[in-house]
Structures are given as C-alpha cells and as structure tokens.
Amino acid sequence: MPARGGRIDQLSRPRKFAEDIRRISARDPVILAIDDPLGDGVESTLRGLSEGGALNLKIGWMPILHGGLGALSTAREIAGGGTVIADLKIADVPHVSGALARTLLDAGADAVIMHGFLGSDVVSSVLEAAGDGGVLVVAETSNPGASLCYPGCSDAIAAMARELGADGIIAPATRPDRIESLRRAVGDEMVVISPGIGIQGGEAIRAVSAGADMIVVGRSIMRSGSPGVELGRIRKEALDGLSLRRPPGSR
C-alpha cells in the first residue's frame, strides 16, 4: 500500500520485472513495437519471426483498439516466452491509471508503460495496482518535439520513478546523451528501455552502449522487405553495445 503522501517505499516492492529484463537482454536486447492492428499481415510476420525463437513485444494502441484486450493474449502466445509490454502510455488521474494498469496486466501483459509527468500520486497508484507486474515510466520521449518541455523535467521524473520503486524508465534512443544522463538518475537497479531505433534515427549500438538495457524497434523491422534479416542485424548491433558497456559475465 502507498505510504503517507502517496509514496511507496522502494524496498517494499521488489523489481521483479527489472530482473527479468536484465536476464532477457543478455540474449536478446530487442523489443518489437507493434503499432498496427494484428491483421493485414502483421500477425503472420510475427509468427514467421517467432520461428527463430522467443520475441519481446510492445503492443500499442492500434492492436488493442482493433482487437480488444485479446490482442495481448495473442501477443503472449506469439512471443513464445519473451516479454510482452502493453504500451498505452497511461496518463490519467490516480484511480483510473491504476485500474488501466491492472486491466492490461490481467489481460496478459508482463508490464505497462505510463507517463511520469503526472507526478508521484499517479505513479504510486499504478505501482500499487500492478503488484508484481512491471511498471515502466516514460521519462523522455524520442520525438523531436519532446524538446518543448522534457529537458526541464525528465531527470526529475526518472529520480521520482526510482524513489517510488518502478522497474524502469523509457529514455530516447534518438538522444544517447539523454540516456546517459537518465541512467545516472536511476542507477543500476532499474532498467532503461529506449525507443526510436531505425526510422526515427536512433542507432542500436549507441543507445545500448549509452546505458539502455533494451531497445525498441518497430517500422524498421515490421515494414522491411526482410524482417528476419533486419531483426538479426539490429539484435547483433544491440548485443555489441552491451559488450562495450558490460564486462563479460556481468549482470
């Protein structure tokens, strides 16, 4: 339960999902962003990719709007043991945000992504509702327009997420210097997941070597003429980034 003032003692909430991500990233640091409905060839592409092993999937608004919460159970089946993250970027008053998180986790997600700019009361409500489920807090987005306001608050959002006991933060692969800064803000016990690889301009090796545990790639793989080849290439780059950052056998 939240402590007085809407805070959660970070020691009272083990970061189980963060531990899972660190284990998964050692073999596959790539999360596939699914932002199109699962029909129209998307599901068949994913099933083809899954023949090469487990997939990590981030399911956005469009698959859920078109397919309902069943899109998450379908994603779990396709993932084949990989992680499934529901990315609706939860951003509402505390009781609504908490209920959204619980619903998504109950539907099959391992973790949810939420915005951090709403403050500690909303983050605390989601953490309480999530229980052992993962909670990732957006500290800064990858789009160019994020420069309007995020440079003034993203480090504070990251520090708040750490204090409250979130599993990790979202930091932009398009700005590796910001990954480095946000990694310093959260330390090593939290994970950093970075979207924006490929079409948005981020590079896998730079993002991971700057401090990201996993990277998020969508269109560059899913709309490629050879998605398996592209996934393999980006996965290798990300693993190379990990080797630059971590001594062999660490984490």
Distance between CA 60 and CA 30 in Å, rounded? 16
Q: One-letter amino acid identity for 84?
A: V
Q: Determine which one of 16, 58, 89, 236 is catalytic.
A: 89
Give the CA distances from residue 49 to residues 19, 54, 80, 158, 227, in Å, rounded to whole numbers and listed in that order: 25, 9, 11, 33, 8
Find out whether 57 and 30 touch, Cβ atoms under 8 Å: no
Q: One-letter amino acid identity for 188?
A: D
Give the CA distances from residue 34 to residues 108, 190, 248, in Å, rounded to whole numbers and listed in that order: 15, 24, 32
Distance between CA 182 and CA 172 in Å, rounded? 10
Distance between CA 37 and CA 104 in Å, rounded? 17
Q: One-letter amino acid identity for 101?
A: A
Distance between CA 155 and CA 161 in Å, rounded? 10
Find out whether 72 and 86 touch, Cβ atoms under 8 Å: yes
Give catalytic status of residue 16 as yes or no: no
Distance between CA 243 and CA 27 in Å, rounded? 11
Catalytically active residues are: 89
